[in-house]
Structure 1
Amino acid sequence: MNFKSLGMSEPLVQILKKSGIKTPTAIQQECIPLIIADKDVIAQAQTGTGKTLAFLLPLFERISPESTKTEALIITPTRELALQITEQAEQLAKAKKLNVLAAYGGRNIGSQLNKLKKNIHLIIATPGRLLDHLERKTIDLNHVKTVVIDEADQMLLMGFKNEVDQILRATPRNRQTLCFSATMAPNVKKLAYYYTYSPVVVNIEPKKVTLDTIRQEVVETTDRQKFDRLAQALQEDNPFLAIIFVRTKRRANELFAKMKKQKFNVQVIHSDIAQNKRERILKSFREADLQYLIATDVASRGLDISGVTHIYNYDVPETPETYIHRIGRTGRAGEDGYTCMFVAPKDNLEFNMIERKLRRNLPRRTFK
């Protein structure tokens, strides 16, 4: 199967080819024809399966370049994800001569307002900034034909339900609604059904291969010893690119200070870091000018950086799903990846849940 047989026009197919994308993934094969046929869709597929193109491609196929109104809206929980979707959308927009607006916090609202004077076909936004525009009456959603709720599970987790309700009330009732999520817990599914009309449910089962390309290890330690163990692991492994996950912004800042002191080539991203600085840091990391990136879970969604060879869970994640999202940053596209989790006695409850979810005991790593 190829993109043309899914109904994609030649200009879009050519842009995909230039990016080295020739064959649609499972989620793209299932969703693209449904979205083109104007069906509401609830889609579940793990990170790294090509979800973004699964909704962007049919959106661009359906939007009319002659339209003077905004026809499509994508709502996403984090600025990083909004930025990433925008980068892909702007590439595709060249093929169809469409205008894309990214509206998210941390970006100068003045430049967004200037861009709005143009004819905007597609808006990619975080809920807070979009509501800000709606209150200012700088954005009109009255003619939107399709709304995409991306990372629906994360939207709930981050408490955006009320904002999403408000935004959807500003769109036409007969719109097409697409819900995409990496996990589909009952509360997420309930919400997805509430927002959609007679939806087609697409569930792409996670391939075990994704985790099979990742070697996972555990270091049993104490909170006091944790930093020394991490430093030891980093010196032994000397990874090409590594992300180190922590639970809180305070923990991220503390670890950053310690690693800087030990002359590690490291930076930190979390929601208190100014957006333009976060973008600079991610660019440096993508270009391998940085070796280590410390991140809170805000960055574990949608952070698609090729070449990440190692993931270190300095803090044990609160849920098995978060663990899977975190380690999914490595071992992509069939490449090998390595992950290491530092477990203190107080983490045993969460750690046992992770092992139960994986249905196996993770091997222990020891140091000389």
Structure 2
Amino acid sequence: MSDFSSLGLADWLIKQCKQLGINKPTPVQENCMPPILEGRDCLGCAKTGSGKTAAFVLPVLQKLSQDPYGIFCLVLTPTRELAYQIAEQFRVIGKPLGLRDCIVVGGMDMVTQSLELSRQPHVVVATPGRLADHIRSSNTFSLKRIQFLIMDEADRLLEQGCTDFTKDLEVILGALPAKRQTLLFSATLTDTLQELQSLTMNKPFFWESKSETRTVEELDQRYILAPEKIKDAYLVHLIQNFTDQHSDWSIIIFCKTCKDCQILTMMLRKFNFPTISLHSMMKQKVRFANLSKFKASVYKILIATDVASRGLDIPTVQVVINHNTPGLPKIYIHRVGRTARAGRNGVSITMVTQYDIHLVHAIEEQTQSKLKEYEVEEKDVLKILTQVNVTRRECEIRLEATDFDEKKEVHKRKQLILEGKDPEMEAKRKAELEKIKKHKKKFKERVQESVLQQQAEQRQRSLLKKKRRLEQKKAKLEAK
């Protein structure tokens, strides 16, 4: 492995890296930084926790130091928390430059953000939705002179799903100059590679980690086979064991929905565990505050939805628990990547029900590694089962009393309005789609019924034919 000076990095940046305890480049930095410094576009795909952020922060700061002006670099990320983390890295490493950065994310005051953008910061770190809103509604800033466009977690930004960034990205790309360097990074990049390559123009350099496994060697990957109704008791037992044995460890628990996240937080607090939550139904200021408290080890347990699964770097996290088996292998890769970062060891435990076996096989196939069973004394779990189930039910009743489901609907309506959609029209469209689905289902059922009926009639006719033939044979034999 080479050192930073042989990669063409300036002395002041090497000094900054040493002060931060970064002495040697990681493979992704070693391979991607020289082409970026040469002015080429770059697509980097490496495991979680392998130093991808520094691989683009260092070359950008070196180029900025040669010709400092604003706005020099735009970084797009899928989540608000990740945007703050990237901005922090720029700020820390770029301190000798007097770097000015601006974070543009949803949930924060738009007027304040507009003022910051008008002051021409060197680096803008943004989520696509809010930046697109600023471009549509404001003319106080321009992105026409930017040198770098960086997409962190690029596959998530470009995939089409429940959070589709396509329209917002079209607005942003339309506001950028054609002549620029485009850098794309992720841990799971290959799925959308063709789409990504269409965004790059300057002799794109592609580097992917050669390792067969998609997760780091330092990660101990385990599973617990537990029926759905006993899952929570297993979770409480696990946390009790970890906190008894390692009081300094931090734990992240991932769950499927905001409601599950809220209920589990309330439940674990009832068992006196220092627990805090993070999900999209919370106000943005509360989300940042909770994350800061977890990073500072004020709370040792964070229960989160997948808003925390990408990019977040918290060195104290030793254990990641998947309360549900992720439906997609790449969600699993990002979740478990919150531990065992930068060469440290870590444990991931996935709770698998009898319905999730096929999902585990898909994860093992994608990661090229086998999940081992985590040994648990079932009799210890059964001791606390009744208490856990009663506590969970109490928490569910308390949550229902706060109109959580109604707030969720209001939140959905608010999101649709922010996206420029009419909630009433969307509801009608959804209802129409449901009708079409029902009609299709009924039609399919009728077709299947008629096919089955025809098959039954065909069988009946063939049986009658066979019967007649047998009777004719019998009559002939009797006549002889």
Q: TM-score, normalization: structure 1? A: 0.94
SS of residue in 2 equivalent to 1:341: strand
Matched to 1:146, the amino acid is F
Q: 1:305-324 to 2 correspondence within 5 Å?
A: 305-324=314-333
SS of residue in 2 equivalent to 1:309: strand
Paired position in structure 1 for 2:80: 79
**How many angstroms apart in 2 are the aligned matches of 1:64 and 1:333?**
27
Q: Is the contact made by 2:254 and 2:321 (CA closer than 8 Å) also made in structure 1?
A: yes
Structure 1 residue ranges without an equivalent (≥5):
none
Residue 361 (structure 1) shift: 4.9
SS of residue in 2 equivalent to 1:134: helix
**How many angstroms apart in 2 are the aligned matches of 1:219 and 1:16?**
40
Q: Is the contact made by 2:49 and 2:340 (CA closer than 8 Å) also made in structure 1?
A: no
Matched to 1:235, the amino acid is Q
**How many angstroms apart in 2 are the aligned matches of 1:44 and 1:296?**
24
Paired position in structure 2 for 1:156: 158
Q: Is the contact made by 1:253 and 1:268 (CA closer than 8 Å) also made in structure 2?
A: yes
Q: Is the contact made by 2:118 and 2:141 (CA closer than 8 Å) also made in structure 1?
A: no
1:343 aligns with 2:352: yes
Q: Is the contact made by 1:11 and 1:96 (CA closer than 8 Å) also made in structure 2?
A: no
- Select the residue among 127, 133, 141 that pairs with 1:139: 141
- Select the residue among 343, 366, 371 that pairs with 1:334: 343
Paired position in structure 1 for 2:457: none
Q: Cα–Cα, structure 1 residues 291 and 361, in superposed 2: closer, same or farther, change >3 Å?
A: closer
Paired position in structure 2 for 1:365: 375
Residue 285 (structure 1) shift: 1.2
Matched to 2:141, the amino acid is I
Residue 11 (structure 1) shift: 2.2
Farther-moved stretch of structure 1 (18-27 vs 1-10): 1-10
SS of residue in 2 equivalent to 1:345: coil
**How many angstroms apart in 2 are the aligned matches of 1:190 and 1:356?**
22
Q: Cα–Cα, structure 1 residues 69 and 287, in superposed 2: closer, same or farther, change >3 Å?
A: closer
Q: Cα–Cα, structure 1 residues 355 and 30, in superposed 2: closer, same or farther, change >3 Å?
A: closer
1:352 aligns with 2:324: no
**How many angstroms apart in 1 are the aligned matches of 2:344 and 2:13?**
27
Residue 244 (structure 1) shift: 0.4
1:263 aligns with 2:265: no
**How many angstroms apart in 1 are the aligned matches of 2:134 and 2:36?**
27
Q: TM-score, normalization: structure 2? A: 0.73
Residue 290 (structure 1) shift: 0.7
Q: 1:11-30 to 2 correspondence within 5 Å?
A: 11-30=12-31
Farther-moved stretch of structure 1 (200-209 vs 25-34): 200-209
Residue 144 (structure 1) shift: 1.1
Q: Which has the higher helix share?
A: 2
**How many angstroms apart in 1 are the aligned matches of 2:197 and 2:268?**
46
**How many angstroms apart in 1 are the aligned matches of 2:80 and 2:91?**
16
**How many angstroms apart in 2 are the aligned matches of 1:319 and 1:97?**
42
Farther-moved stretch of structure 1 (353-362 vs 237-246): 353-362
Q: Is the contact made by 2:225 and 2:352 (CA closer than 8 Å) also made in structure 1?
A: yes
- Select the residue among 190, 197, 201 that pairs with 1:193: 197
SS of residue in 2 equivalent to 1:201: strand
Higher relative contact order, structure no. (Cα contacts within 8 Å, ≥ 6 residues apart): 1
Matched to 1:299, the amino acid is A
Residue 23 (structure 1) shift: 1.1
Paired position in structure 1 for 2:236: 231
Q: Deviations over 1:239-277 (max 9, x none)?
A: 511000111112111211211222211011012222221
Q: Is the contact made by 1:73 and 1:122 (CA closer than 8 Å) also made in structure 2?
A: yes
Paired position in structure 1 for 2:188: 183
**How many angstroms apart in 1 are the aligned matches of 2:67 and 2:364?**
54
Farther-moved stretch of structure 1 (57-66 vs 240-249): 57-66
SS of residue in 2 equivalent to 1:216: strand
**How many angstroms apart in 2 are the aligned matches of 1:241 and 1:64?**
38
Q: Is the contact made by 1:43 and 1:180 (CA closer than 8 Å) also made in structure 2?
A: yes
Residue 94 (structure 1) shift: 1.5
Residue 305 (structure 1) shift: 0.3
Residue 162 (structure 1) shift: 2.6
- CA-based RMSD: 2.0
Paired position in structure 1 for 2:90: 89
**How many angstroms apart in 1 are the aligned matches of 2:218 and 2:65?**
42
Q: Deviations over 1:39-86 (max 9, x none)?
A: 111111121111111111111111257654412111111101101000
- Select the residue among 270, 289, 294 that pairs with 1:285: 294
Q: Deviations over 1:313-361 (max 9, x none)?
A: 1111112222122112122233322222111122222122123334435
- Select the residue among 304, 308, 313 that pairs with 2:313: 304
Paired position in structure 1 for 2:419: none
SS of residue in 1 equivalent to 2:164: coil
SS of residue in 1 equivalent to 2:50: coil
Q: Cα–Cα, structure 1 residues 72 and 212, in superposed 2: closer, same or farther, change >3 Å?
A: closer
**How many angstroms apart in 2 are the aligned matches of 1:260 and 1:21?**
38
Q: Deviations over 1:169-211 (max 9, x none)?
A: 111112111111211234x101111101131111123475954
Aligned length: 367
Matched to 1:154, the amino acid is R
Matched to 1:50, the amino acid is G
Farther-moved stretch of structure 1 (357-366 vs 105-114): 357-366
SS of residue in 1 equivalent to 2:155: helix
Matched to 1:189, the amino acid is L
Residue 36 (structure 1) shift: 1.3
**How many angstroms apart in 1 are the aligned matches of 2:178 and 2:371?**
49
SS of residue in 2 equivalent to 1:267: strand
Q: Cα–Cα, structure 1 residues 132 and 259, in superposed 2: closer, same or farther, change >3 Å?
A: same
Structure label with greater radius of gyration: 2
Percent of aligned pairs with the same residue? 34
**How many angstroms apart in 1 are the aligned matches of 2:350 and 2:90?**
35
